[in-house]
Amino acid sequence: MTLARSYAKFVSSLEYNHLPVQVVDKLKASVLHAMIVSIIGAQTHHGKSAITLTKEEDSKSDGATILVDGTKATRTGAAFANSKLMHATNQTDSYRMLIHPGPCIIPAALATAELIGASGQDFITALSAGYEVESRIAGDFIPTTQARGFRCSPVYGTLGAAIATGKLLGLDEDQLVTALALACTFAAGTTEGPRVSSREMMYHEPQATRAGITAALLARENLHGSETCLEGEAGFYNAFTGNNRGELSYTFTPGDGDIGGTTDMAQTVQELGSRWELLHITPKIYPTAGYNCPVIDLTTRARANNPIPLEEVESITMEMNWLETSYPSPAFPNQDRSMPGIGSTHYFIAYTWVHGHYPPLRNQLGPGLGDKETDRAISDLQRRVTVTGHRNRANFSPRITIYTRSGEQYHDEFTGNELKLDLATETAVIKTLFSQLPWPRTQLDTLVSTVTTLDKETDIAGLIQSCVPA
């Protein structure tokens, strides 16, 4: 059986009562995170531009809702705008650092669920299908795709959006194969922007969302998609990884003598429905690259547990997964990110140590971006920060060492699981931001309660209404 057929069979037969409690909880956490981030994103230049463009080009009085703005647009138009809102501040969710399923899958499913009146359970089921299929198809191939010059998030996100939309549309097994085949040919996005710090990647996910929805809609038109769209001689994997044999140019944790390796193509579809890759999704709380988020949290914890006066800190070393220190890829590293300076890992470590924390909202930054004395302290400390990449460290599992002028050393480290938040933890974290958000507290509280009981809702109208003007 081909890979596409295996995924299509899994998705077409998937029902809500097949989902483990942990999967439902994880998806609710992702939905809550995405909806809150959309409120934040609507205040940004990119968010406002996406809303304006959509209203000018895709307005439709009986269409789907643009979040925060509240007006209606075509299915793909509303999803495009909402994807941008969920991605504008770089606070999306992540799977294995380099793909961000949420801003592709959630807005795609949101638009279609609203238009067809799908229940909360139907919505969650579609999300589970999209998240799981995208995560499995991406998996071990992520570093190799990035090394080919493609940005993984939109490339694999197109497939996730197509699957989630197709599930809600009720596509049968054959049609889901076609949806995947179309999504494979629609996928796009290069890493040149991340390599040189330009910003075209800001619209990668929105365009991938639109493409994925289109793939699912077209699959209803009795097209015949290629069964071997993924592993075929000229298929998706050959295009985006350079071969269809599972040969990898880079891996997350390579052996001592190699940076590449191999993976079994067949393992991507093994244990579908019993082993859930989506449980490894991590939300990005801070407006920065995903690999900096555990660094910030670890530094915060180390600072709280070891209140060493700043003047006593000789230096700080942060050990991370090797790929996290060569973003977007060792093949095309962004040199600016490897040097001390605003936006570098060195900077986030220094800022967090000086202040004791790093704020999730940019308008909370305060001293350190203008206050000369604090600016000087951060600038001085980041020059004493060393960031090193290690092949045996998992993603999001940094290790910090603080060296004091008196010769003492203090260590702390993460396992890589700390940011895989469940709904209760996500809710607790998100609620700390409520007083800073430009949104009525009553609606924020309603959003939390609606997401919590999403599987009991007859439709998703309440979810959407909590994120549009009252």
For residue 419, what is the enclosing H or E element? Answer: none
For residue 265, what is the enclosing H or E element? Answer: none
The single-letter DSSP state of residue 376 is H
CB atoms near residue 374 (< 10 Å): 16
For residue 70, what is the enclosing H or E element? Answer: none
Give the Cα-Cα-Cα angle 172, 173, 179 (nearest 5 degrees): 85
First CA to last CA across the chain, in angstroms?
Answer: 50
Nearest to 353 by CA among 296, 280, 270, 431: 296
pLDDT in tens, the chain (470 residues): 999 999 999 999 999 999 999 999 999 999 999 999 999 999 999 999 999 999 999 999 999 999 999 999 999 999 999 999 999 999 999 999 999 999 999 999 999 999 999 999 999 999 999 999 999 999 999 999 999 999 999 999 999 999 999 999 999 999 999 999 999 999 999 999 999 989 898 999 999 999 999 999 999 998 999 999 999 999 999 999 999 999 999 999 887 667 889 999 999 999 999 999 999 999 999 999 999 999 999 999 999 999 999 999 999 999 999 999 999 999 999 988 888 988 899 999 999 999 999 999 977 665 554 567 778 999 999 999 999 999 999 999 999 999 999 999 999 999 999 999 999 999 999 999 999 999 999 999 999 999 999 999 999 999 999 999 98
Residues in the chain: 470
What DSSP letter does each residue of 137-160 carry, written as one string?
HHGGGHHHHHHTTB-HHHHHHHHH
Beta bridge partners of 400: 318, 412
Using CA atoms, how far apart are residues 117 and 232, in angstroms rounded to an integer?
Answer: 37
pLDDT in the model for residue 336: 81
Q: Which residues of 39-74 are buried (b: 16+ CB within 10 A; e: fewer)?
A: bbbbbbebbbebbebbbeebeeeebbbbbbbebbbb
Using CA atoms, how far apart are residues 11 and 444, in angstroms rounded to an integer?
Answer: 33
Q: Which residues are CB-contacts of 289 (< 8 A; sequence separation ≥ 6)?
A: 90, 327, 337
Phi, psi of 261 (to 5 degrees): 165, -160
pLDDT in the model for residue 335: 84
What is the chain's Cα-based Rg? Answer: 22
State pTM to two decimals.
0.96
Using CA atoms, how far apart are residues 438 and 444, in angstroms rounded to an integer?
Answer: 10
For the record, the structure tokens of 320 come out as 């991370």
Using CA atoms, how far apart are residues 328 and 150, in angstroms rounded to an integer?
Answer: 10
For residue 76, what is the enclosing H or E element? Answer: helix 75-87
Using CA atoms, how far apart are residues 168 and 163, in angstroms rounded to an integer?
Answer: 9
Alpha-helical segments (H) within 306-440: 345-355, 372-382, 423-431
For the record, the structure tokens of 20 come out as 């483990």
What DSSP letter does each residue of 287-340 carry, written as one string?
SS-TTHHHHHHHHHHHHHHS---GGGEEEEEEEEEGGGGSTT-TTS--GGGGSS
For the record, the structure tokens of 176 come out as 């889901």
pLDDT in the model for residue 369: 46
pLDDT in the model for residue 222: 83
Strand 72-73, strand 59-65: pairing: antiparallel
For the record, the structure tokens of 130 come out as 């999209």
Q: Check if the beta carbon of residue 92 is closer than 8 Å to that of residue 37.
A: yes
| Torsion sign over Cα 454, 460, 461, 466 | positive
Q: Check if the beta carbon of residue 326 is closer than 8 Å to that of residue 389.
A: yes
